Amino acid sequence: MKKVFARTSNVERFILSMSRLQNRQEGIPGMALVYGEPGLGKTKTALWWIAQNDGVFIRTKKLMTGRWLLEEIVAELGEAPMRRISDLFRQAQEQLLEHPRTIFVDEADYLSHDARVLETLRDLHDITGSPIVLIGMDQADKKLARYKHLYDRFSEIVHFKSLTEQDIRMIADQLCEVALSDDAISYIAGQANKFRKIVVWLYRAEAIAKANSLKTVSAQHLNGAGK
């Protein structure tokens, strides 16, 4: 398997939303929500984007408080977190004003019960103008909709959808070391619609090709391999 990042249709929509977020006009709020079922590539896509743009990545923890979140943000922005929560907020604010960066908050579902933490993120965005992107699970849009002042600031909402047959073709062409016939792609689409599972099928295809000296793997070869 080639270790490359595949540009699926979800990824393309993510890239467009992020560039609109960076280039938005004055007065347009700059928060975004990225959501969808686990395993569709939300985290990976955010990390890939950060690798080539200015951004920091915060992985939310279940027990995270406002202070803990601010400490992580300040540390990711490259400063040693101070003790008092008011100092932490000021540190984050000064860093972002000096050097605006997009903050990605992954697993934001953990914060969806905590209005104060969400309001802290909103305040940080309002004061600094730096984009803040919340990444969450499938119902994250509904969970967050009740925080109207937050929700109103989502100028971009990216729904990561189940991978389509076309996505699987794209992923196979970019990652797999062996060619797959169209019926093999349809077969995989019938078995899996998440990245991890699709990659498992691509590994199987590579193994089958190797064992049988095949140039192209078809549905018939795959059928039975997953059992």
Ligand X SMILES: Nc1ncnc2c1ncn2[C@@H]1O[C@H](COP(=O)(O)OP(=O)(O)O)[C@@H](O)[C@H]1O
Q: Show the tokens assigned to 144.
A: 């967050």
- 209 is in the binding site of which of Mg ion, ligand X, none (Cβ under 5 to 8 A by kind)? none
Please give the residue ranges that form the binding site for Mg ion (CB under 5 A): 43
Are 32 and 158 in contact by the 8 Å Cβ rule? The answer is yes
> Residue 15: exposed, middle, or buried by beta-carbon count in 10 A (0-12, 13-18, 19+)?
middle
Our finding on whether 195 is near ligand X (CB under 6 A) is yes
CB of 84 to Mg ion, least distance (A): 32
Our finding on whether 5 is near ligand X (CB under 6 A) is yes
- 222 is in the binding site of which of ligand X, Mg ion, none (Cβ under 5 to 8 A by kind)? none
Query: CA nearest 46: which of 133, 124, 156?
Result: 133
- 190 is in the binding site of which of ligand X, Mg ion, none (Cβ under 5 to 8 A by kind)? none
Q: Kindly tell me which residue out of 9, 13, 24, 39 binds ligand X, with binding defined by CB under 6 A.
A: 39
CA-angle at 48, arms to 44 and 53, nearest 5°: 145
Q: Which is nearer to Mg ion, 47 or 219 (CB)?
A: 47
Q: Show the tokens assigned to 140.
A: 């994250």
| DSSP element (H, E) containing 98 | helix 85-98
Contacting range for ligand X; rule: CB under 6 A; set: 6-14, 69-77, 84-92, 211-219: 6-14
Q: Which is nearer to ligand X, 39 or 81 (CB)?
A: 39
DSSP code per residue over 197-221 = HHHHHHHHHHHHHHHHT-SEE-HHH
What distance in Å separates the CA atoms of residue 155 and residue 144, rounded to the nearest whole number? 14
Q: Which is nearer to Mg ion, 46 or 184 (CB)?
A: 46
Our finding on whether 59 is near ligand X (CB under 6 A) is no
Backbone angles phi, psi at 170, to 5 degrees: -65, -45
Contacting range for ligand X; rule: CB under 6 A; set: 13-21, 34-42, 55-63, 92-100: 34-42
- 191 is in the binding site of which of ligand X, Mg ion, none (Cβ under 5 to 8 A by kind)? none
Query: Interface with ligand X by CB under 6 A: which residues?
Result: 5-6, 8, 11, 38-44, 195-196
